[in-house]
Structure 1
Amino acid sequence: MIEAKDPGEWARLEAAVDEAVRKAAATEIMPRFRQLAQHEIVQKNGPHDLVTVADRLAEEQLTAALTAVLPGSVVVGEEAVHADVGILAALGGDAPVWIVDPVDGTRQFVHGDPAFATLVTLAHRGELLASWTYAPALDLMAVARQGGGATLDGQVLRCGPPVPGQDINVAISHYDFTTDAEKQALSGLRTAGVAPRPCGSAGLEYLNVARGLLDAVAFSWENAWDHAAGLLLVAEAGGASATIAGEPFRIAGGNALPFTAARDEATVRHILSLLTVVG
């Protein structure tokens, strides 16, 4: 059982995944940063939803490396799912699953902004067991393990509560990627005492919450590869999260939306009180 791995086995697995993530970034992502040719950038579902050759090749490399690290595991990657949505069924299966976003923040990557990340999460039967959030252009590596805490470059992360008396800073679903119904569901955050702004890389926004640099996120979509790593990172840093139904976020989908993750339970409750269900 993956949950029963002893500390030595977990340490070896974590080191192997760390190496795999860094290698994929070094060989497939960073050589193309600010070097992409136009033909290496493709629209998926619209002008703001981009994929590059770096996304595809990094995911292919990570898929091979991660399944070798943990025999019998499977990969649910953003680009593979785009090609075959049936792959999502693995999120509800019995095999350990690696959830991979090779370049979270592709738009930033394409425009030469260093605020993008590679996200990898290990899950089993719906539980988030470990995650890696790597921002190669910023040289940041955050790691979380269920029940084992969260670190950033080896230093323990603790969210801590928001500063009393100050506006609650919230990163929300970017306007370019939201429907009118989603915008309406999030509109209650535009109120006194709350300062919403559009999110960048979801993975890095979660990291900002875990670091205590951002008070909360509120999102209206549920792609597992965007959220799994960050939700575990925030939880292990002492934060909290919930859907608008007051339930834990399910990586296999079917969540009531929007949902939030924040530095503490009180902030989660306050954010939820301002949201409405996506119509």
Structure 2
Amino acid sequence: MDTDDILALLRQTAAEVITPRFHRLRDGEVEEKRPGDLVTVADLEAEAHLTRALKGAFPGAVVIGEEAVFADPGLLKGIGNADHAFLIDPIDGTRNFVRGKDEHGVMLAEVRAGVTTRGWIWQPMTGRGYVAERGAGARMNGEPIVRVRHQRPPLGATAHHRLLGFDADGRLSPVVRSHFCCAFDYPALLDGDIDFMFYRTTYPWDHLAGSLMVTENGGVSRTLDGLAYTVQSNSSGLLVAGDTLSWMTAQHLWPVD
């Protein structure tokens, strides 16, 4: 399967497994894994579908999904040393999906020997497919992504309520609320709608694909200690920005303590 074939697989999975349940989830089809962290029957079935397809196309690859890791956290052990692996987020933005919001998507990352080589984001409700290949740039629906530049201090987004409105005494634009969905946050950064994002958690299924897209488009994805984000990153915070200046400004001024 080439890069476009895999994007087609994500589209097909969404069309056949995910979207038919949008606005149609029944009692018993939504569970809470931990407080505020939801999983639906669509998450589970989409992950199973993608896992089967990828294992069939790449018999030697390790294929791991978010829901499988929740059931068995040991699956992530050694993933950074695997010769070839795929990491699946079957529905990113599950809470939005359950609430009937369009801001949800399917994400997939390919990793070879610890290096992210390809990434995919599919937004079923917008029809936008974002793809990145290491060394070959990032594209949206087959076209190169051109980030819009704005005449303003860097504008950030976060899901953390206590950081909303933070502007570092005017050196940043007031921080706004994120989409609560990496499948929409990263495209917003790629397009220039926002300039940086801060995350507390660094789960690889949430960030590998988007981080590759950002770095291939001239941006920066690093943990708060300044190290490049990889599948092996284990940090309490991730800062992603559309350019180095925005990253440096936000890193030095962000109230993370």
TM range (shorter): over 0.9
Gaps of 5+ in 2: none
Partner of 1:221: 201
Tell me which protein shows more helix as a share of its residues. Answer: 1
Give the superposed CA RMSD: 1.8
Amino acid at match of 1:37: R
Gaps of 5+ in 1: 1-11, 176-182
- 1:198–1:187: structure 2 CA closer, same or farther, 3 Å change rule? closer
What is the 5 A alignment of 1:84-123? 84-123=72-111
Greater alpha carbon shift after TM alignment, 64-73 vs 111-120: 64-73
The percentage of aligned residue pairs carrying the same residue is 31
Q: Distance in 2 between matches of 1:224 and 1:80?
A: 13
Q: Distance in 2 between matches of 1:196 and 1:187?
A: 5
What is the 5 A alignment of 1:163-242? 163-164=150-151, 166-175=152-161, 189-191=166-168, 192=170, 193-199=172-178, 200-242=180-222
Contact 1:74 1:97 in 2 (8 A): yes
Are residue 23 (structure 1) and residue 12 (structure 2) matched? yes
Q: Distance in 1 between matches of 2:147 and 2:26?
A: 40
Contact 1:17 1:69 in 2 (8 A): no
Amino acid at match of 2:29: E
Contact 1:77 1:99 in 2 (8 A): yes
Contact 2:164 2:176 in 1 (8 A): no
Are residue 260 (structure 1) and residue 247 (structure 2) matched? no
Partner of 1:3: none
Deviations 1:134-155, CA, capped at 9 Å, x for gaps: 0011111000000011110111
Q: Distance in 2 between matches of 1:187 and 1:34?
A: 30
Aligned to 2:59, what secondary structure does the other structure show?
Answer: coil
Partner of 1:124: 112
Amino acid at match of 1:171: A
Partner of 1:148: 136
Aligned to 1:80, what secondary structure does the other structure show?
Answer: helix
| TM-score w.r.t. length of structure 1 | 0.85
Contact 1:76 1:91 in 2 (8 A): no
Q: How many residues align?
A: 254
Deviation at 1:227, TM superposition (A): 0.6
- 1:114–1:188: structure 2 CA closer, same or farther, 3 Å change rule? closer
| TM-score w.r.t. length of structure 2 | 0.92
Deviation at 1:252, TM superposition (A): 2.1
